Chain A
Amino acid sequence: MRIVVTVVGQDKVGIIAKVTNILANNQVNVLNINQNIMDGFFNMVLIADMTDSKMSIKTLKEHLDRLSKEIGLEIRVQSEDIFTAMHQI
């Protein structure tokens, strides 16, 4: 299953490292990262494959929620399906 991780908030050092570290530790393979700074805010969209991961989206979400609280940024993880359904015919 492919997932989309979005991170939004105040820019700071090491955001990508911290997020991808959690993914790597759980066998979630990053396929694509797109990141920029808009109006001073950090925006990142990361697409990953969790086929080889033993973890469910729900558990991964719990890990990322903890990181979200720690670094003070909003982190969401969702199945890619919702995005393709909405934006592709």
Chain B
Amino acid sequence: MSVLTFNDVLETTQMITHHNLDVRTITMGISLRDCGHPDVKVCADKIYDKITKKAEKLVQTGEDIESDLGVPIINKRISVTPVSMVGESCDTNDYVPLAKALDKAAHEVGVNFIGGFSALVDKGYTKGDRNLIASIPEALASTDVVCSSVNVGSTKAGINMDAVAEMGRVVKETAEKTAANDAIGCAKLVVFCNAVNDNPFMAGAFHGVTEPESVVSVGVSGPGVVKHALEAVRGQDIGAVAEVIKRTAFKITRVGQLVAQEAAKRLNTQFGIIDLSLAPTPAVGDSVAHILEEIGLESCGGPGTTATLAMLNDAVKKGGLMASSYVGGLSGAFIPVSEDAGMIAAVERGSLCLEKLEAMTCVCSVGLDMIAIPGDTSAETIAAIIADESAIGMINNKTTAVRVIPVPGKGVGDKVEFGGLLGHAPIMAVSKFKADTFIARGGRIPAPVRSLTN
């Protein structure tokens, strides 16, 4: 049989049929830099027209590739230029019409999320940034598939504490405006430090200013495949575990690379990057937490979690890097609580708390993600959580993020159901000690020193 062996073929088909191997997303980045106009209605029309033209064949192409290669491609998505920049020249303070144009365009082309209702304010605000951030709660409440992100800090600029405080309030307001749906708006809102320009994953995807006119990037996945591969090295030393993860990540990423190249070719656009992420889903057998437990933890969140996660994250990168010519995006193991059956179970059995999750974010991608917290958590406390997470990103020169959902009317012990890939989550406890005075100070945390790194 040519160069392929019988076992090679069966291994690949088993990864797909039994261990949830899939390509998590094909994301098309589209520049909207030519869509600005003083009249917001004209700007909205230009946005709609450009997206529906550029992404007209995105979903069909994704489905065709899925059919030809026989590997599921779960999501087809779009990211656009941060709308704060696109809307800046509009004679209005209200950018909700632009969000609605994104939503309408996304529905028209059939993608399940569109990201880029975003602003980058690590050093301060422009007029467009202020307008966009003020529009976020209403924009998320009045659209279905629009995702929003705000970058509040970076290693080179420090942390904009005014923006941190404001985002605490925006998260709360978004929760209140979407209270009828368990604050689903907050599941579509990410606060970043060191946001990347080419992230294909939602809710934080936007098409950065250094990106070309349009580009196709792919996010791979495969926690289930890694977990299954590790079952073969039970009892062996940790070096053997790292080696298996590397080999598996290589194979997974090669599939992503193939899909990305094929998609770029068929869509007649540029291939951007492969995002080497282990992205879990709520499905059984597709959990990052279960990988850590397979390595030898009784329950994710207990002692040993940070070390195993660090090794996993590093090995995934080492394996994936060789498999793709262009790696970018967030590239690391994700630990979204509501989207990972093992994480949910760990919270329910009491081994995983917010503070341990914060420690875990020091060694993996991306941050405190999809965590439901009590509805009475104050805006200041949420801002302080954002500040802590941003500080980890700023000092460690990595992307960190906060996507917490303060669910109105719910407290610790309650559960919340978001549905689909967003999963469900138990409400997690938040420290009752306040940071209100710190948050009220505002200003900017200076950029950190890059030597003397202890």
CA distance A4 to B2 in the complex (A): 11
Partner of B8 from A36, A61, A87 at Cβ < 8 Å = A87
**B residues less than 8 Å from A61 (CB atoms):** 67
**A residues less than 8 Å from B255 (CB atoms):** 82, 85-86
Chain B 1-42 residues near chain A, CB threshold 8 A: 1-6, 8-13, 17
Q: Is the CB of A79 within 8 A of B4?
A: no
CA distance A85 to B255 in the complex (A): 6
CA distance A79 to B259 in the complex (A): 12
CA distance A78 to B69 in the complex (A): 5
Question: Is B70 an interface position by the 8 A CB rule?
Answer: yes
Q: Is the CB of B1 within 8 A of A45?
A: yes
Q: Is the CB of A84 within 8 A of B9?
A: no
| CB-based nearest B residue for A79 | B68
Decide: A45 near B6, CB < 8 A? Known: A78-B69, A79-B69, A81-B258: yes
Decide: A78 near B6, CB < 8 A? Known: A45-B1, A85-B258: no
| CB-based nearest B residue for A59 | B67
Q: Is the CB of B68 within 8 A of A86?
A: no
Decide: A47 near B4, CB < 8 A? Known: A81-B258, A82-B258: yes
CA distance A43 to B5 in the complex (A): 13
Shortest A64–chain B CB gap in Å is 11
Question: Is B71 an interface position by the 8 A CB rule?
Answer: yes
**A residues less than 8 Å from B10 (CB atoms):** 6, 43, 45
Question: Is A54 an interface position by the 8 A CB rule?
Answer: no
Question: Is A31 an interface position by the 8 A CB rule?
Answer: yes
Q: Is the CB of B70 within 8 A of A79?
A: yes
| CB-based nearest A residue for B4 | A83
Shortest B162–chain A CB gap in Å is 48
| CB-based nearest A residue for B252 | A86
For the A-B complex, the count of residue pairs with Cβ-Cβ distances under 8 Å equals: 73
CA distance A43 to B13 in the complex (A): 12
Question: Is A58 an interface position by the 8 A CB rule?
Answer: yes
Q: Is the CB of B254 within 8 A of A86?
A: yes
Q: Is the CB of B69 within 8 A of A81?
A: yes
**B residues less than 8 Å from A31 (CB atoms):** 2
**B residues less than 8 Å from A43 (CB atoms):** 6, 10
CA distance A31 to B257 in the complex (A): 27
Question: Is B376 an interface position by the 8 A CB rule?
Answer: no
| CB-based nearest A residue for B69 | A82
Using C-beta atoms within 8 Å of the partner chain, give the interface range for chain B.
20 to 34
Chain A's interface: helix, strand, loop or mixed, by majority?
strand
Q: What string of 1s and 0s marks CB contacts (under 8 Å) between B254-266 and chain A? A: 1101100010000
| CB-based nearest A residue for B9 | A45
| CB-based nearest A residue for B65 | A79
Q: Is the CB of B6 within 8 A of A82?
A: no
Q: Is the CB of B13 within 8 A of A6?
A: yes
CA distance A43 to B71 in the complex (A): 20
Question: Is A32 an interface position by the 8 A CB rule?
Answer: yes
Question: Is B156 an interface position by the 8 A CB rule?
Answer: no
**B residues less than 8 Å from A86 (CB atoms):** 8, 12, 251, 254-255
Shortest A41–chain B CB gap in Å is 11
Partner of B71 from A45, A57, A82 at Cβ < 8 Å = A82
Question: Is A25 an interface position by the 8 A CB rule?
Answer: no
CA distance A72 to B257 in the complex (A): 34
Decide: A82 near B8, CB < 8 A? Known: A32-B2, A76-B13: no
Question: Is B64 an interface position by the 8 A CB rule?
Answer: yes
Q: What string of 1s and 0s marks CB contacts (under 8 Å) between A60-89 and chain B? A: 010000000000001011111111111110
Q: Is the CB of A82 within 8 A of B4?
A: no
**B residues less than 8 Å from A34 (CB atoms):** 1, 6
**B residues less than 8 Å from A57 (CB atoms):** 67-68
Shortest B4–chain A CB gap in Å is 5
- Name 10 extra pairs, CB < 8 A, besides A34-B6, A78-B69: A6-B9, A43-B6, A74-B17, A78-B68, A82-B12, A82-B71, A82-B255, A82-B258, A83-B12, A87-B12
A residues in contact (CB < 8 Å) with B: 4, 6, 8, 31-32, 34, 36, 43, 45, 47, 57-58, 61, 74, 76-88
